Amino acid sequence: MTTRLGTAAVIAIALLALACGGGHATTTTLSVVTSTTIVEDLVKQVGGDRVSVTGIVPLRADVHTYRITPSDIDQTLEADLLVIVGGGLSAIEGFLADGAEGPVLELTHDMDLGPFPEALAHADEDAHDEHDDEGEDGHHGHDHGEFDPHFWMDIDLAIHAVEAIRDELARLDPDGADYYRERTGAYVAELREVDAEIREQLAGLPGERRYLVTFHDAFGYFADRYGLTILGFVVESPEEQPSASAITELVESIAELGIRFIFSEPQFSARAIEQIAADTDTTVRAIPSVALAEEYPTYVEFLRAIANGIAE
Ligand SMILES: [Zn+2]
């Protein structure tokens, strides 16, 4: 919009803003603490200059296993808002939520989450487990129930999260409501474009490239969305130790299907995946699953890094 304004008009508006005592055209009005780096980015995309965002889990670190510090708790206590994934993603989110004095926005709270995927290589095991009453966290190591909390692997769910962030920021800072709405609109349009690009990029992959073997069970939504199949994973949740039987099953299935690429996740040990690669003569590629990093500092770049890792 500013491109259509003349320079003089821009200066006049800037002077007006100064005259009104603001000093800046936009002033920060809310402080928000977030758990994961992806949630941090989503809040920044919506909040822009009106919101200061502090992410608890640093770049490259993993929310499942990160240990919170007393200063993390202090920052959470002082924040106007805490935004977490929820859905039993990790214990540290629970600690943060317990420590928060202000409101807590749990992004998966009213999200239409799906179940964890049926992994092809573990099909027998899954059938066996299905009616096995192991209690709440028997099937998957994340201490949630039956639903997959990795919502950021599905752009529609991410858009739902972005809209929930927009609504909560507008509730806490009504003067910024229009600002948050405009930023959300532009960002959602960008996400839809990225979604279409990834769909096109992955559509042309040959059959044997359409299987995912990963370290942990995080890619169900991504596979569903883009027509890939979860062949299997080494652990259901990163807190677990790799199981020898899961590895044996994967080695057999990989050989049968003629798969050439399998995937490690940068936050986790690649040892088990490398072991499988050595046993199957496949190549290991790293694709991100839970955390942003210097090479992909935004959610959009994170999604592209997954697609490129699979497709290139
Ligand atoms: Zn996970």
> What is the CA(255)–ligand 1 centre distance, in A?
26
Residue 43 in contact with residue 176, Cβ under 8 Å? no
Residue 144 pLDDT: 44
Q: Which residues contact 231 (CB under 8 A, 6 or more apart)?
A: 119, 120, 121, 211, 212, 213, 250, 253, 254, 257, 259
> What is the CA(238)–ligand 1 centre distance, in A?
7
Residue 53 pLDDT: 97
> What is the CA(237)–ligand 1 centre distance, in A?
6
> What is the CA(270)–ligand 1 centre distance, in A?
15
Q: Where are the domains of the chain?
A: 204-311
Two tokens at 149?
């909390």
CA distance 84 to 72: 14
Q: Which residues contact 70 (CB under 8 A, 6 or more apart)?
A: none
How far from 242 is each of 200, 239, 270, CA to CA, in Å?
34, 10, 11
pLDDT band at 18 (very low <50, low <70, confident <90, very high): very low
Radius of gyration of the chain (CA): 22
Residue 239 in contact with residue 64, Cβ under 8 Å? yes
CATH fold, domain 204-311, is: Rossmann fold (3.40.50)
> What is the CA(125)–ligand 1 centre distance, in A?
20
For the stretch 249-260, pLDDT in tens is: 999 999 999 999
For the stretch 86-100, pLDDT in tens is: 998 888 899 999 989
The pTM of this model reads: 0.86
Residue whose entry in the numeric block shows the structure tokens 């808002």: 81
> What is the CA(89)–ligand 1 centre distance, in A?
7
